[in-house]
């Protein structure tokens, strides 16, 4: 005999266990808070309605099929409120997390109003009609109760997130339909086995499948719409706050102040906001897709808000680097460097120390955008605007270190030894590692002691050096042929003058022979490996939701290094196939990151 608890043990809890195994690397503090909140609201909102329905005999349960009853409702039914919400929420996470939230905002005022108000008007009419239909003992009772109970909450959620839900129509449809079909199938099994019974006197007695009443299918469809719409309401408010960081500056916390901010973001129509920041993000992504494919893949596994701000940061670093590299004339390189320098000075004009950051009072930097519109391309200008919007929680020192790396390139300074290579890598990549830490900590809402924060930053700087050295080892030919530049330490060369001339003046790296190029690369990778394991020690101190993603980023780059080392000759530009990136990312995310899951105190040095 199948009982109600058997239904959970056989059909619902195993699904939740499976979805949990799939989604655990993506369940950040924000996601966990969202799921808990939606579960709590579902439980509170559904409990009186469910008692009312059973009191009027719309549903019936045999005593031998249930554990016990609270009010009129079986304990297993209360469990189902939470189980269905968790199941559908996790499935929705899989379906909807992959694109930045801001790309699903609707900035067309007319379209926005129509999508918001037409469904709300229809839902109001439906709720009234449902109330009139819900006469106890009548065949329309169950259907009417579903309609008057569900419409008010859908109206509320649709007001704030309906447009967002529609813009993500493909993924939200999958998020709703799949669990609806599955739960209808489970319901059919339970009805056939008399685990519960739908009263024919309060039902339309229309069956969509054998033993499966129309009202049951409608119930699962509507409840899954509510769950997914509730999740999208959170995602929309998170996305708006991430995109308009000046207007919504608070990072995640469980404080009432943060909750008020997020409710304001939920109620705010994105059509009332400027679309320029989102257009800027599109430019930022174009930069990264073109110039940093490894990061573009690794960024997919970061939590949404952190991913968005890392995109802004990386795009700025990438586009400023290209501004220097893509100018053949030395005087124009210097001019571009002056433009970047001036922008950084303006962006941090109100700071009085290198690492001074205050988020208590947030204001937009006073930047002369008219000047930069004359100096920059549209894509460059977008990246500059994007970084300026999140600069309020970043320190200025790493940006000045980045400038030192650009000055190194403009001056054509040579890399004499490994110390020079490490110093240059620290300027152009260690600085970025520091800024990434600030992004991760701020957007995660995690407060750390100054000692632990400094420890993480030190490891992040080393990690930046490691990844940059891997890049350099991969790009010996590219740097030589396109830029006339060489970052191979001169101490590696048999004839410094001749080999440097071949790489930087003649731009003919292959004349040195593939074996020599590979020998250069392998030595630099060995240098990177000496620091790699040490740099990974900082991962265990990061917020748990970014530990796996950070490891993914490092392992993708490490796989590039492995590809260079394992190649019988020096490849023109070593890279991973999309499948290899997925394989490496999956292994790091689900297995490699486990050893960093438990936070341990950082080692102390005497």
At a CB cut-off of 8 Å and minimum separation 6, what does 457 contact?
433, 434, 437
- Per the DSSP assignment, residues forming a β-bridge with 197 are 60
Tens digits of residue pLDDT in 521-573:
999 999 999 888 888 888 988 988 899 999 998 888 888 888 888 888 888 77
Domain spans, the chain: 4-272, 274-413, 464-605
pLDDT tens-digit series, residues 1-44: 899 999 999 999 999 999 999 999 999 888 999 999 999 999 99
State pTM to two decimals.
0.89
**Alpha carbon separation from 551 to 25, 31, 74, 244, 597 (Å, rounded):** 12, 20, 46, 29, 12
Confidence check: pLDDT of 604 > 70: no
- Quote the tokens at residue 249: 């500056």
Measured in degrees and rounded to the nearest 5, phi and psi for residue 280 equal: -65, -40
Over the stretch 477-508, which tens digit does the pLDDT of each residue have?
A: 988 998 888 999 999 999 999 999 999 999 99
Place of tokens 């950070």: 550
The pLDDT confidence band at residue 605, using thresholds 50, 70 and 90, is very low
Backbone torsions φ then ψ of 213, nearest 5 degrees: -65, 155
Instruction: Evaluate if residue 255 carries a pLDDT over 60.
Output: yes
How far apart (Å, rounded) are the C-alpha atoms in residues 305 and 299?
11
- C-alpha 430/C-alpha 392 separation (Å) is 20
Q: What is the pLDDT of residues 581-602, one digit of tens each?
A: 888 888 988 998 888 876 555 6
Give per-residue pLDDT as tens, 308-355.
999 999 999 999 999 998 888 889 999 999 999 999 999 998 888 888
Judge contact between 288 and 314, C-beta under 8 A: yes
d(CA 348, CA 367) in angstroms, rounded, equals 10
Rounded Cα distance, 472 and 486, in Å: 9
Rounded to the nearest integer, the mean pLDDT of the chain is 90
The count of C-alpha atoms lying within 13 angstroms of the C-alpha of 453, restricted to the half-sphere facing its C-beta, is 15
CA nearest 358: which of 367, 366, 347, 350? 350
Calpha distance 437→27 (Å, rounded): 19
Pairing of strands 69-70, 73-74: antiparallel
Please say whether the beta carbons of 561 and 470 come within 8 A. Answer: yes
Q: What is the dihedral of CA 555, 559, 562, 566, to 10 degrees?
A: 150
Comparing C-alpha atoms, which of 152, 180, 164 is closest to residue 111? 164
**Is the CB of residue 389 less than 8 Å from the CB of residue 246?**
yes
Average pLDDT rounded to a whole number, residues 456-464: 93
- Both structure tokens of 334: 């210097």
Structure confidence at residue 601 (pLDDT): 57
Strand ranges (E), 300-381: none
pLDDT of residue 602: 61
């Amino acid at each position: 005999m199948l009982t109600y608890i058997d239904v959970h043990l056989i059909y619902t809890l195993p699904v939740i266990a499976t979805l949990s195994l799939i989604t655990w690397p993506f369940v950040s503090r924000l996601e966990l808070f969202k799921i808990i909140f939606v579960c709590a609201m579902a439980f509170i909102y559904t409990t009186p309605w469910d008692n009312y329905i059973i009191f009027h005999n719309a549903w019936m349960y045999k005593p031998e099929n249930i554990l016990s009853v609270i009010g009129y409702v079986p304990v297993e039914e209360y469990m189902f409120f939470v189980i269905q919400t968790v199941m559908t929420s996790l499935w929705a996470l899989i379906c909807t997390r992959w694109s930045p939230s801001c790309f699903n905002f609707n900035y067309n005022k007319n379209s926005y109003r129509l999508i918001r108000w037409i469904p709300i008007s229809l839902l109001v009419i439906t709720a009234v009609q449902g109330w009139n239909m819900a006469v106890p003992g009548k065949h329309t009772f169950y259907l009417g109760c579903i309609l008057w109970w569900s419409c008010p909450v859908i109206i509320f959620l649709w007001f704030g997130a309906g447009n967002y839900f529609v813009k993500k129509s493909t993924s939200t449809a999958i998020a709703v339909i799949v669990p609806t079909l599955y739960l209808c199938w489970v319901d059919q099994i339970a009805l056939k086995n008399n685990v519960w019974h739908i009263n024919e006197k309060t039902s339309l007695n229309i069956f969509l499948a054998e033993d499966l009443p129309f009202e049951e299918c409608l119930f699962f469809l509507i409840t899954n719409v509510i769950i997914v719409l509730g999740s999208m309401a959170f995602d929309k408010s998170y996305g708006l706050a991430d995109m308009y960081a000046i207007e919504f500056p608070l990072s995640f916390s469980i404080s009432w102040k943060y909750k008020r901010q997020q409710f304001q973001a939920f109620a705010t129509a994105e059509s009332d906001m400027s679309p320029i920041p989102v257009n800027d993000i599109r430019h930022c992504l174009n930069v990264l897709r073109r110039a940093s494919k490894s990061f573009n893949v690794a960024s997919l596994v970061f939590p949404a808000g952190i991913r968005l701000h890392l995109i802004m940061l990386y795009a700025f670093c990438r586009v400023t680097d290209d501004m220097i590299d893509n100018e053949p004339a030395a005087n124009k390189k210097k001019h571009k460097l002056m433009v970047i320098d001036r922008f950084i000075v303006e962006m941090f004009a109100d700071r009085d120390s290198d690492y001074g950051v205050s988020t208590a009072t947030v204001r937009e930097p006073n930047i002369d955008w008219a000047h930069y519109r004359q100096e920059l391309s549209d894509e460059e200008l977008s990246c500059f605007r994007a970084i300026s919007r999140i600069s309020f929680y970043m320190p200025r020192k790493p940006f000045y270190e980045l400038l030192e790396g650009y000055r190194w390139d403009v001056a054509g300074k040579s890399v004499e030894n490994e110390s020079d290579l490490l110093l240059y890598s620290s300027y152009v990549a260690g600085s970025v590692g520091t800024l990434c830490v600030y992004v991760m900590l701020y957007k995660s809402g995690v407060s750390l002691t100054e000692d632990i924060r400094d420890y993480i930053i030190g490891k992040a700087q080393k990690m930046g050096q490691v990844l940059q050295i891997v890049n350099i080892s991969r790009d010996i030919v590219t740097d030589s042929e396109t830029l006339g530049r060489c970052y191979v330490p001169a101490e590696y060369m048999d004839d410094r003058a001749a080999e440097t001339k071949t790489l930087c003046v003649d731009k003919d790296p292959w004349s040195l022979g593939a074996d020599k190029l590979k020998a250069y690369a392998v030595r630099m990778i060995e240098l990177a490996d000496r620091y790699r394991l040490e740099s990974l020690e900082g991962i265990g101190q990061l917020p748990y939701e970014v530990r796996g993603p950070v490891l993914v980023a490092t392992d993708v780059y490490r796989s590039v290094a492995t590809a260079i080392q394992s190649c019988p000759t020096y490849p023109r530009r070593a890279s991973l196939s999309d499948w290899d990136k997925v394989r490496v990312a999956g292994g790091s995310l689900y297995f490699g990151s486990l050893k960093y899951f438990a936070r341990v105190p950082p080692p102390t040095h005497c």
